[in-house]
Structure 1
Amino acid sequence: MSERALMLVLHDVAPETWADYRPFVEAVDAIGGVPMTWLVVPDFHNRNPLQAHPDFRRLLDGRLARGDELVLHGCYHADRAPSPRTPKDWFMRRVYTHEGEFYSLDEAAARERLGQGLALFRRYDWPLHGFVAPAWLMSPGSRRALAGSGLLYTSDPRHFYLLPDFAPITAPGLVWSARSAWRRGMSWLVSERQLRHCRQAPLLRLGLHPVDMRHDFSRRYWLELLKRLLREGRQPTTKIDWLRQYTWSSSAA
């Protein structure tokens, strides 16, 4: 694979986050030729079931028709497990994030949760190839359940993992913490440093979140960065399209 690729990935996609994303998506569509990967949450925070939003489902149908990809992103994107019992779990589930839905699940619970998501994608005839855990956190039981799900890949901020063996592929990603002004400033510095180190990487992923879209500074950064990377010759792609090319190139070699 000689071309340097670029992925634009929208996290936490749900009816209630569409208002945040809409201006940005429209701006990307105006550029033209930039497919996006949408990480879809079936029932965001247990208050936003996709079944209750036919207009939003039609929007996602339209995105698929444009060449975008839909990915399963948890089921609720909320940690509803019993209270943490160890200092490590308390930090991961109360300080690092409150949304690590798959962090504490045993295999049976993770399999049930994945099954709900798979069933929803089948119900609406949406092709499904990948799963990304909320906050990229998975318990050992969740990993075993995912390995047996029939899906092709998962990912974290630094890697793709080919299922069922979790074979890693280096895939650096940029992501912001945009909840406050100082976090946005630090995110800008960290992202620019990462870009210098990853400039020649075969694949670069931009991982956007709804909170990024609520602040002009971060929203403008992502849009200008996208344009900059396109000018530098990176080819935009979805996760599954890149992965298909990667596996084809690997088998051909």
Structure 2
Amino acid sequence: MAERALAFVLHDVAPETWPDYEPLVRRLDAQRPVPITWLVVPDFHHRNPLARDPTFCRFLESRLQRGDELVLHGYSHTDSGPTPLTPRDWFMRRIFTHEGEFYALDEGEALARIEAGIALFRRLGWPLHGFVAPAWLMSAGTRAALSRTGLRYTSDPGHLFRLPDFEPIDAPGLVWSARSAWRRELSRQYCERLLARHRQAPLLRLGLHPVDMRHERSREWWFDALGRLLADGRLALTKHDWLQRQDRA
């Protein structure tokens, strides 16, 4: 059987979301240690710039030393663009999510935000290989900007994309919508079906969000799913490490 891997990914990482994640991360470190891919937001909702929290920066530095990966996840993770003008744009930016920061940006604005994030990582001495847009929503301008950055990869819900050419790699992603009880139940059922359908997929991505951590059912499902995948023989890797292994294969 070909090697099968998993990536354990924490979205929306910022000083104010760390209290949501901390109990699970401490539990993983103690009981089920795996490398984690942290999707880091430089200035989450314009409330708490990462650069002004040296304690949290030192914590993320310590995760790098453990073998984790830090990924640039937008810049503010909030959509501050002009009012949507079409029904589709209204749905995507006001119903589907209010956090599609890169959904409507032109190439110049997208490049400016991505380069600001790259510069922050550089100042902090953090290696950077990937960018993930909030809610995975990218305008054509964002895609054009990413091709100019020198970053190695980006992603959407079902794929990794090698940059600069957006070469797609199948990588099914599991994610919950945990804001209500009925959403949590549907998410559980959906993710269980994905696990069964993609049992032989070379890479599965487990994509956690802070709200998942606020509900016992979703929090415990993620911990249990990780255990099942490890017991089934999957190797836990960061996304960058997995791509490097593909290059060497």
Tell me which interval the TM-score lies in, with the shorter structure as reference length. over 0.9
1:196 aligned partner: 196
* Helix, strand or coil at the partner of 2:240: helix
- Structure 2 matches for 1:206-245, cutoff 5 A? 206-245=206-245
- CA separation in 2, counterparts of 1:159 and 1:201? 12
2:91 aligned partner: 91
2:173 aligned partner: 173
1:52 CA displacement: 1.3
1:16 CA displacement: 0.2
Aligned partner letter, 2:64: L
- Structure 2 matches for 1:1-253, cutoff 5 A? 2-249=2-249
* Helix, strand or coil at the partner of 1:42: coil
| Aligned 8 A contact 2:108 2:145 in 1 | yes
* Helix, strand or coil at the partner of 1:51: helix
1:57 CA displacement: 0.3
1:195 CA displacement: 0.8
* Helix, strand or coil at the partner of 2:17: helix
Aligned partner letter, 2:57: R
- CA separation in 2, counterparts of 1:178 and 1:148? 36
- CA separation in 1, counterparts of 2:48 and 2:158? 29
* Helix, strand or coil at the partner of 1:111: helix
- CA separation in 1, counterparts of 2:248 and 2:130? 18
1:33 CA displacement: 4.1
* Helix, strand or coil at the partner of 1:16: coil
| Aligned 8 A contact 2:153 2:163 in 1 | yes
State, as a whole percentage, how many aligned pairs show the same letter.
65
* Helix, strand or coil at the partner of 1:160: strand
- CA separation in 2, counterparts of 1:39 and 1:33? 18
1:3 CA displacement: 1.2
- CA separation in 1, counterparts of 2:30 and 2:226? 13
Q: Could you tell me which runs of 5 or more consecutive residues in structure 2 were left unpaired when the two chains were aligned.
A: none
- CA separation in 2, counterparts of 1:33 and 1:221? 17
- CA separation in 1, counterparts of 2:105 and 2:205? 28
* Helix, strand or coil at the partner of 1:144: helix
What RMSD, in angstroms, separates the aligned Cα atoms of the two structures? 0.9
1:51 CA displacement: 1.3
